[in-house]
Structure 1
Amino acid sequence: MLLDVRWSVAAGGADHAAYLRGHLPGAVYVSMDGDLAGHGSPQDGRHPLPTPADFAETVQRWGVDDGDTVVVYDDCGGTSAARAWWLLRHAGIRSCLVLDGGLAAWREAGLALQAGEVIPAPGSACASWGRMPVVDADGAQAIAEAGLLLDARAPERYRGETEPLDPAAGHIPRAVNLPTTGNLDDDGRLLPQEDLAERFAAVTAGVDEDAPVAVYCGSGVTAAHQVMAMAAAGLHGVALFPGSWSAWCNDPHRPVATGPEPDGSAPDGSAVGSLAPRSR
Structure 2
Amino acid sequence: MGPLMDVAALRARIQAGQRTVLLDVRWKLGDPHGRDHYLEAHLPGAVFVDLATELAAPAQPERGRHPLPPLEQFQGSARRWGINDGDVVVAYDDSGNMAAARLWWMLRHAGVVEVYLLDGGLAAWRAAGLPVEGGDAPTVPGNVTLREGLMPAIDAEAAGTWARTGILLDARAGERYRGEFEPVDPRAGHIPGAVSAPTTENVDQSGRFLPADELRRRFSALGISGDAAVAVYCGSGVTAAHEVVALELAGIPASLYPGSFSEWSNNPERPVVAGGQPG
| TM-score normalised by the chain length of structure 2 | 0.90
Which one-letter code corresponds to 2:240 in the other structure?
A
Which SS does the other structure have where 2:72 is aligned?
A: helix
Matches within 5 A, 1:35-184: 35-184=54-203
The answer on whether the counterparts of 1:14 and 1:32 sit within 8 Å (CA) in structure 2 is no
Distance 2:144 2:203 in 1: 32
Distance 1:132 1:257 in 2: 28
Which one-letter code corresponds to 2:266 in the other structure?
N
Aligned to 2:7: none
Identical amino acids, percent of aligned pairs: 53
Distance 1:195 1:13 in 2: 33
Aligned to 1:245: 261
| TM-score normalised by the chain length of structure 1 | 0.90
Which one-letter code corresponds to 2:276 in the other structure?
P
Shift of 1:128: 1.0
Aligned to 2:24: 4
Shift of 1:40: 4.8
Q: Per the alignment, do residues 154 and 97 of structure 1 end up closer, same or farther by CA in structure 2, a change over 3 Å counting?
A: same
Which SS does the other structure have where 2:242 is aligned?
A: helix
Which one-letter code corresponds to 1:178 in the other structure?
A
Which one-letter code corresponds to 1:227 in the other structure?
V
Distance 1:150 1:13 in 2: 27
The answer on whether the counterparts of 1:59 and 1:125 sit within 8 Å (CA) in structure 2 is yes
Among 207, 219, 227, which residue is 1:200 paired with? 219
Among 212, 219, 228, which residue is 2:245 paired with? 228
- Summarize deviations over 1:258-277 as a string: whole Å, max 9, x none: 011000xxxxxxxxxxxxxx
Aligned to 1:257: 273
Shift of 1:41: 2.1
**RMSD, matched Cα:** 1.1
Distance 2:178 2:138 in 1: 44
Unaligned runs of 5+ in 1: 264-280
Distance 2:145 2:231 in 1: 28
The answer on whether the counterparts of 1:14 and 1:31 sit within 8 Å (CA) in structure 2 is no
Aligned to 2:16: none
Q: Per the alignment, do residues 45 and 22 of structure 1 end up closer, same or farther by CA in structure 2, a change over 3 Å counting?
A: same
Moved over 2 A (4+): 209-212
Aligned to 1:215: 232
Distance 1:21 1:81 in 2: 18
Distance 1:252 1:258 in 2: 15
Distance 2:33 2:184 in 1: 16
Among 7, 25, 37, which residue is 2:44 paired with? 25
Distance 2:185 2:147 in 1: 32
Shift of 1:53: 1.1
Which SS does the other structure have where 1:214 is aligned?
A: strand
Which one-letter code corresponds to 2:29 in the other structure?
V
Shift of 1:14: 4.2
Which one-letter code corresponds to 1:213 in the other structure?
V
Which one-letter code corresponds to 2:175 in the other structure?
E
Shift of 1:196: 0.6
